[in-house]
Amino acid sequence: MLPGLMQDRPLAIIDILRFAATAHATQEVVSKNVDEPIWRSDYAGTMRRVAQAANMLAGLGLNSGDRISSLAWNTHRHFELFYAAPGMGLVLHTANPRLPDDHLVYTINHAASRVLLIDRNMVEIVERIKDQLTTVEKIVTLTDSARTPAGYEGYEDLIAAQPDSFAWPSFDENTAAFLCYTSGTTGDPKGVLYSHRAVVLHGFAAGLSGALGFSAFDVVMPCQSLYHATAWGLPFAGAINGVKFVFPCDKFDGASLQALIEGEGVTFSGGVPTIWTMYLDHLERTGGKPGTLQRVIIGGSAVPRDMAVAFDRLGVVVQQIWGMTETCPLGVVATSTPALAARGRDAENEQIWTRQGRMMFGIEMEIFDDEGQPLPHDGEASGALCVRGPWVLERYFRSDTSAVDADGWFDTGDISTIDELGFMRITDRKKDVIKSGGEWVSSIDLENAAAGCPGVKVAAVAGVYHPKWEERPIMLIEAHDGAELSEADVRAYLESRVPKWWMPDRIFFEPVPMTATGKIDKKIIRDRHADALKEG
Amino acid sequence: MLPGLMQDRPLAIIDILRFAATAHATQEVVSKNVDEPIWRSDYAGTMRRVAQAANMLAGLGLNSGDRISSLAWNTHRHFELFYAAPGMGLVLHTANPRLPDDHLVYTINHAASRVLLIDRNMVEIVERIKDQLTTVEKIVTLTDSARTPAGYEGYEDLIAAQPDSFAWPSFDENTAAFLCYTSGTTGDPKGVLYSHRAVVLHGFAAGLSGALGFSAFDVVMPCQSLYHATAWGLPFAGAINGVKFVFPCDKFDGASLQALIEGEGVTFSGGVPTIWTMYLDHLERTGGKPGTLQRVIIGGSAVPRDMAVAFDRLGVVVQQIWGMTETCPLGVVATSTPALAARGRDAENEQIWTRQGRMMFGIEMEIFDDEGQPLPHDGEASGALCVRGPWVLERYFRSDTSAVDADGWFDTGDISTIDELGFMRITDRKKDVIKSGGEWVSSIDLENAAAGCPGVKVAAVAGVYHPKWEERPIMLIEAHDGAELSEADVRAYLESRVPKWWMPDRIFFEPVPMTATGKIDKKIIRDRHADALKEG
């Protein structure tokens, strides 16, 4: 090997903000906060506050590589910690307040965090669990002076007297920056330790037109939580491209979002479908219009057809997205290409709305059969979806064993197809696949079909034991308030839409259990209805 | 330092094409070639041919790190070598056919290239110099069977029987990939050895909206030579974003470009101003329209105002760009921001047309005074422009000494300002700065002012010895064919546009000497007119 002779300069997260503070100094950073008036600053101001936060953290005696945990919403202070902590060589563990207490405690202890920074309305949780936190030495509330709860120290008080510059150290780009835990429904949460290299490369790729396609004219309102895999990396991809940020705190109801969209000129947002269902309901009730909003990116679960059509009518582009904590998190985004557009508008919409997304440069993707042989990209063959690349994990935090195979592939646990245009479609979680008489039933396809039935709010499908077919699908239906919906209606709706042998053996009308990350909790469904078909 | 736990996968140039061949398989690659019919393939086809080329090169007994040289135009075969050579661990030296013979020989010998791949109409040059090439073992013409010159072996014949897959090796991302020589007007050309890491990172950054802003709906026709610093990295930034490529070979005349723009739906092109002057002349003569063409990016020298206005009237966006062989090559691109747009259309155009460009993430930029102190970003203070980042060189090929200072800054040799919006404007080459009585005259500002004078085709300014003021500016004017233009006309035009003391002491009407890269050769001007003002 002949080495090139270019500069050996490491990729560093703090350089993203330094860039934005120089080339987009006056671009705004706007934020709601718990019980506070709206916050307005810009990248230059944010850079100074980030330096103050770093000086504050340095004063606590933290050392390079130490972990600190946040328990916080989508606010500017949380955003500041996203740069301050990695910038000084610390690791930010973004704890998930939606986890059950025991899992939350587990993650903070597993991270061995020395400092915990919390939003004002997290005090109740923290009071409940703090005696179980074995490594936390200090708790800071992300509050201003006036609103710091009694007995706590507030962020604004702590940073106020700090210098607004910091001697940011330079270090290896493989240094850890973020610790994000998966919230598996089985077993303990597992930590994924993002490096500066992974976050910066992901930030480059995520901003491209084949992914999020950001420009400095975008106003980005992240409605995916900052504690979920760094909110798809928006804090980084956004700043690289100089977007205006609008942080909604924990107010994801339709009226709050609409007020920010109208008031701040939001062009881009995204999040799980639930939020956007509420938003569309709000528009319908109030006769509101999405105004400047151009794009909504949906992740976490498939886009309901109704939602896609409703946004399309309002002139808003809806795109799916797929990723996981283990992929930093972007894997694919559903963006069009000339080859797809040439098929006509309807076919294009169909593809964009029903595929998780199209491959992006930097993350390789392949599907394999049970023998480990790669399957064709024909949109039909489905197999174990595996990924590899510089923003895919190699092993979980504190694990002695690699999470990837000898060729570097990480098995996502999803079953999917890939088509000739490079679009990936998840047909199931591997553990949720229903094996009926040797054939696979896609629980996701069945759920998506049922979700289109008028009156259905959520449909969930799981496989349970069947004496003859080994497994058969059962379905849970949660109807919209006031909807008149019978089992016969659902069956009639499904009849023309799914293969006959996919028809669920039983349909239950009951609330669908959800995980802490807003996904259908199939484990609970399977446990609850384990014996539903034992008589065949 | 706590290491992150993400995959250690190297950035590799061949992965760019592998991605494009998977996710944009049917996207076209179209090319003109010397004396051949137009070529049509796509990324999937190109990937197969690149594998064939790699198998062919492997058969020549080349080893990892070996250099090969191309002497070729903008064609699909040259593009294929851009992936085949680095993909297998070789280094592609893109020799510049516009160099004087002795410089050309020097670069190929300095590179110690073992193979030379040439376009059909380079045979004359090669016959002239081949006895002086001390390391070249084999010469291949980039031709089809029918058009391979007698006594040569042709590329198509050599790859035809090769397998269309190749076991691409994996290696350190700092491995050398390209060797590009600067064509300094003084001293020997110097080699810059690009690494895979530098090229891939540059490819990510160049595609973003703050730079070239590519999407898969773009049809990119590179009119900057592939042998000039990899044509601004377009072969990589384009493929990362799945653009259609249209290669014009060596046909940069207006009619040829217009035929490709109309025939292939070109949306994006770029190059030195001379090409676009010819193109606009062609449109004016023929009454043609730019049709699908949306953007023209001008590099190499400042955009003449007339050209910017003419394109603006035609609905084509013109942007400046600045970079150098040492920066892989993009440094800045003139793209707008909300802060700039808020100043109104005229101010926005003024900024975009007259600044080299706005900073992009990944390449740091600073201006320093003579004492090495950073200067304010106020658009007024001008100083030595220094850059650093992962796609900036550390040292020249075969050099024992670093080209950067202790803080990693590479001094570009340009004098520039940076303004509060992050836009950089070059006011002079350090060596071309005119020191008149202790004050600086910007030769570039003076040239730009004169270039606006009706009838002026090219204006060149240099400083020459003056007994009283140390140096004073002289000006060369090359008029348009048939233009009636007197010295008094030029002086009258300049009077209201430049400070009085900048007025050139003498104005010569004569052809302006150009370097091999199409820049004004000030050294020749200074030598030719060294005594012009010796009497004061």
Chain A residues within an 8 Å CB radius of B338: 27, 216-217, 244
Helix, strand, or coil (residue A282): helix
Question: What are the structure tokens assigned to B443, written together?
Answer: 């030769």
Burial of B238 by CB count in 10 Å (0-12 exposed, 13-18 middle, 19+ buried)?
buried
Sheet containing B153-154: order of strands = B153-154, B138-141, B115-118, B67-71, B91-94, B176-181, B191-195
CB neighbourhood size of A195 (10 A)? 30
Model ipTM value: 0.91
Chain pair A-B, CB pairs under 8 angstroms: 253
- Block means of pLDDT (10 residues each) for chain A, 536 residues, are 96 98 97 96 98 98 97 98 98 94 96 98 97 98 96 97 97 98 78 98 97 98 96 97 98 97 97 91 96 93 85 95 95 96 95 94 96 95 96 97 96 95 91 82 88 91 90 93 92 91 94 83 91 88
Q: What percent of chain B has pLDDT over 70?
A: 99
Residue B269 confidence (pLDDT): 98
**Contact by Cβ (8 Å): A444, A428:** yes
Q: What percent of chain B has pLDDT over 90?
A: 85
- The yes-or-no answer on residue B502 being catalytic is no
Chain A residues within an 8 Å CB radius of B65: 1-2
Residue in B334, B396, B442 with CA at minimum distance from that of residue B110 = B396
Choose among B3, B377, B410: nearest Cβ to A174. B3
DSSP output for B62-84: --TT-EEEEE--BSHHHHHHHHH
For residue A306, give how far its alpha carbon lies from the nearest alpha carbon of chain B (Å).
28
CB contact under 8 A, A422 and B22: yes
Choose among B2, B215, B404: nearest Cβ to A7. B404
For residue A519, give how far its alpha carbon lies from the nearest alpha carbon of chain B (Å).
25
Chain A residues within an 8 Å CB radius of B337: 23-24, 27, 216-217, 242
Listed in sequence order, the residues at least 6 apart from B284 whose beta carbon sits closer than 8 Å to its beta carbon are none
CB contact under 8 A, A408 and B7: yes
- The CA distance from B320 to A302, in Å, is 43
CB contact under 8 A, A172 and B393: no
Alpha carbon separation from A445 to A271, A277, A304, B367 (Å, rounded):
21, 20, 11, 58
Question: What are the structure tokens assigned to B125, written together?
Answer: 């040059």
For residue B491, give how far its alpha carbon lies from the nearest alpha carbon of chain A (Å).
38
CB contact under 8 A, B171 and A1: yes
- The yes-or-no answer on residue A292 being catalytic is no
Domain-embedded: residue B447: yes
The shares of helix, strand and coil residues in chain B, as percent rounded to the nearest 5, are 35, 25, 40
Catalytic residue of the set A274, A440, A487, A515 = A440
CB contact under 8 A, A8 and B360: no
Residue A373 confidence (pLDDT): 96
Domain-embedded: residue A130: yes
Mean pLDDT confidence for B160-170: 97
Residue A438 confidence (pLDDT): 74
CA-based nearest residue in chain A for residue B408:
A7
CB contact under 8 A, B408 and A7: yes
Q: What is the pTM of this model?
A: 0.92
Question: What are the structure tokens assigned to B259, written together?
Answer: 């035929």
For residue A301, give how far its alpha carbon lies from the nearest alpha carbon of chain B (Å).
23
Q: Out of A227, A246, A265, pick the residue that ends a domain.
A: A246
Choose among B89, B91, B389: nearest Cβ to A7. B389
Q: What kind and span of H or E run contains A180?
A: strand A176-181
Question: What are the structure tokens assigned to B276, written together?
Answer: 């676009």
Helix, strand, or coil (residue B325): helix
Residue in B518, B39, B46, B57 with CA at minimum distance from that of residue B235 = B46
Choose among A172, A195, A339: nearest Cβ to B6. A195
Residue A184 confidence (pLDDT): 60
Domain-embedded: residue B226: no
Here the CATH number for the domain that contains residue B108 is: 3.40.50.12780
B536 has a pLDDT exceeding 80: no
CB contact under 8 A, B198 and A4: yes
CB contact under 8 A, B361 and A15: yes
Helix, strand, or coil (residue A524): helix
- pLDDT tens digits, residue range A416-470? 999 999 999 998 888 888 888 877 788 888 998 898 899 999 999 999 999 888 8
B185 has a pLDDT exceeding 80: no
Alpha carbon separation from B104 to A182, B94, B135 (Å, rounded):
58, 11, 14
Here the CATH number for the domain that contains residue B437 is: 3.30.300.30
For residue A215, give how far its alpha carbon lies from the nearest alpha carbon of chain B (Å).
5
Domain-embedded: residue B54: yes
Question: How many angstroms separate the most distant Cα atoms in chain A?
Answer: 72
pLDDT confidence of B186, banded at 50, 70, 90?
A: low
For residue A412, give how far its alpha carbon lies from the nearest alpha carbon of chain B (Å).
14
Chain A residues within an 8 Å CB radius of B15: 361, 364
Chain B residues within an 8 Å CB radius of A204: 201, 204-205, 208, 361-362
State the average pLDDT for chain B.
94
Domain-embedded: residue A482: yes
Q: Out of B246, B265, B286, pick the residue that ends a domain.
A: B246
Q: Which one-letter DSSP state was computed for residue A397?
A: T
- The yes-or-no answer on residue B73 being catalytic is no
Helix, strand, or coil (residue B268): strand
CA-based nearest residue in chain B for residue A336:
B216
For residue A353, give how far its alpha carbon lies from the nearest alpha carbon of chain B (Å).
18
CA-based nearest residue in chain B for residue A342:
B217
Q: Which domain holds residue A459?
A: 432-528
**Number of domains, chain A:** 2
Chain B residues within an 8 Å CB radius of A91: 2
Q: Which residue has the tokens 């992740």?
A: A299
- The yes-or-no answer on residue B409 being catalytic is no
Q: Which one-letter DSSP state was computed for residue A526?
A: H
Residue in B195, B175, B194, B191 with CA at minimum distance from that of residue B183 = B191
- pLDDT tens digits, residue range B370-426? 899 999 999 999 999 999 999 999 999 999 999 999 999 999 999 999 999 999 999
CA-based nearest residue in chain B for residue A341:
B217
Residue A187 confidence (pLDDT): 75
Domain-embedded: residue B436: yes
Catalytic residue of the set A46, A175, A182, A427 = A182
Domain-embedded: residue A339: no
Residue A282 confidence (pLDDT): 97
Alpha carbon separation from B170 to A204, B10, B359 (Å, rounded):
22, 8, 33
Domain-embedded: residue B253: no
CB contact under 8 A, A24 and B422: yes
- The CA distance from B50 to B45, in Å, is 9
Residue in B113, B153, B144 with CA at minimum distance from that of residue B129 = B113
CA-based nearest residue in chain B for residue A216:
B337
Choose among A22, A339, A361: nearest Cβ to B27. A339
CB contact under 8 A, A4 and B176: yes
CB contact under 8 A, B216 and A338: yes
Q: Out of A246, A265, A283, pick the residue that ends a domain.
A: A246
Q: Given its phi and psi angles, is residue A359 left (phi above 0), alpha (psi -120 to 50 degrees) or beta? A: beta
- pLDDT tens digits, residue range B224-280? 999 999 999 999 999 999 999 999 999 999 999 999 999 999 999 999 888 999 999
